[in-house]
């Protein structure tokens, strides 16, 4: 399994590297007020991809912190509760085995 993961990583790296080589031409990125920034296309794609990932992580942080807070509260409540052992009981409609079968004879 470890070898398959490394093969997939190498293939992904090669695909992204070849993508970067094919998209290295300089393109203009136009902003308001006639401001223009010229950079390689692959660099612009990388910047916007990383920015999107960062925004996605930031959007998940409130839920993550709320879940961690709820989990710690639940664990604290579980530590305060006494542990009561539960013994297995036979169902109410169970039929008792004859003594010869129960003893294995």
Mean pLDDT along residues 32-47: 87
What is the domain partition of the chain in residue ranges?
12-79
Dump the DSSP string for 14-52: HHHHHHHHHT-SEEEEE-STT-EEEEEHHHHHHHHHHHH
Q: Closest Cα to residue 47, out of 58, 62, 37, 60? A: 37
Q: What is the pTM of this model?
A: 0.56
DSSP tag of 93:
T
| Alpha-carbon distances, residue 26 vs 33, 36, 37, 38 (angstroms) | 21, 12, 10, 6
Averaged pLDDT score across all residues of the chain:
85
**Residue 70: HSE in the Cβ half-sphere, 13 Å Cα cutoff:** 6
Q: What is the pLDDT of residues 21-35, one digit of tens each?
A: 887 888 888 888 888
Neighbours of 29 (CB within 10 A): 13
Lowest pLDDT segment from 19-23, 45-49, 96-100: 96-100
Predicted confidence band of residue 55 (pLDDT cuts 50, 70, 90) = very high
Q: Is the pLDDT of residue 14 over 60?
A: yes
Lowest pLDDT segment from 25-34, 50-59, 70-79: 25-34
């Amino acid at each position: 399994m470890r070898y398959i993961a490394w093969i997939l990583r190498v293939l992904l790296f090669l695909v992204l590297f070849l993508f970067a080589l094919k998209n290295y031409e300089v393109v203009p990125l136009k902003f308001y007020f006639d401001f223009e920034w010229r950079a390689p296309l692959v660099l612009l794609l990388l910047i916007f991809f990383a920015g999107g990932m960062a925004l996605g992580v930031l959007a998940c942080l409130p839920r993550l912190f709320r879940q961690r807070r709820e989990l710690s509260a639940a664990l604290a409540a579980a530590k305060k509760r006494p542990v009561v052992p539960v013994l297995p009981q036979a169902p109410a409609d169970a039929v008792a085995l004859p003594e010869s079968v129960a003893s294995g004879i």
